[in-house]
Amino acid sequence: MTHLSAGIDAGSSAIKVAIARSEAGQNAEILATAVQRIRRRNVFDVVKATFDEGCASARVAERDLCYVASTGDVDAVSFATGHFYGMTTHARGALHAIPDARAVLDLGALHARAIKMDGRGKVLGHRMTSQCASGTGQFLENIARYLGVPLEDVGRLSRESSQVEEVSSICAVLAETDVINMVARGLKTGEILRGIHLSIAGRLVRLLRSAAAEGVVAVTGGLADDIGLIGILRELLAKDLGKGKKPLPPLDIRSHALSPVAGAIGAAILGAFRFDQLQRRAQQPSLSV
């Protein structure tokens, strides 16, 4: 039976929505996605506006949906049918976008996490950054704002730069001080951004290794389309293979056009699956003693 479901990923800096048509969570077709930045707006208003935008793009009404699943901030979506943990939704959404993936690198605004999973999207293990915010999307956005660079241009400027000076501080406040000093010394914007990317990517490599990730790694979250960061991450992982006493498994970092909304997609797919399960249970005859 075909189901229409919605997934709402309520992050700390943006709301992502996905509308899906599937057969109880299988063979999913993503009808529409929508993303809106929260900025200084009321989060509940942004959730509703993004949800309405997604439904309008998919040409469906809320009453047509069998399940509205939330993930991320559980309190932000007051009209959700049910909630799923972020690791589960990002794993399932990443698998939809990149079927070969067996690990996920979720790059969020406030943290990054590496998730190891199987071919069904079941989470087998994970690691999350426990250090300061200097390895997150919010930190990179703050740096871009200080440098006067639109966030969508950060990856390109970093990639076009051949020179680099890595930011050494793991503390976000101290790292921003490093950037101020670099500007004062006359370093070019692209060089500074490439240094920031190199610093972040180094921590992400260690995160992936600590999670014992193997094979194809799907990048999800807000930084998934940052071509500068993804490029440096691939370079560091290639160099990382020869380190240590034991050979490290190669990791194939991949991103997809749907990667930034993977959490919302996973929630929509899991919502349809849960709805089908509940329907099946309701149809089962009760046992009398």
Q: 176: domain CATH number? A: 3.30.420.40
Q: Say how far apart CA 141 and CA 126 lie, in whole Å.
A: 25
Are residue 108 and residue 64 in the same domain, yes or no?
no
- Domain carrying residue 171: 99-254
What pLDDT is recorded for position 108?
87
Give residue 199's pLDDT band: very low, low, confident or very high (50, 70, 90).
confident
201 and 268 fall within a common domain? no
Its pTM stands at: 0.91
The answer as to whether 288 is a domain residue is no
In a domain, 82, yes or no: yes
Same domain, 135 and 211: yes
What is the chain's mean pLDDT, rounded?
90
pLDDT, tens digit, 9 for 90 and up, residues 5-36: 999 999 989 999 999 999 988 999 999 999 99
Are residues 90 and 147 both part of a single domain?
Answer: no
pLDDT of the residue at 210: 93
- Say whether both 45 and 154 belong to one domain: no
Query: Quick one: 134 and 235 in the same domain?
Result: yes
The number of folded domains in the chain is 2
Give the tens place of pLDDT for each residue, 128-164.
Answer: 986 555 557 788 888 888 899 998 899 999 999 887 7
pLDDT digits (tens, 9 = 90+) for 211-250: 999 999 999 998 999 999 999 999 999 887 656 567 788 9
Residue 143 sits in the same domain as residue 216:
yes
Residue 23: CB atoms within 10 Å:
14
- pLDDT surpassing 50 at residue 288: no
Q: Where are the beta strands (DSSP E) in the chain?
A: 2-10, 14-23, 26-37, 67-72, 82-83, 101-107, 112-117, 123-128, 215-221, 251-254
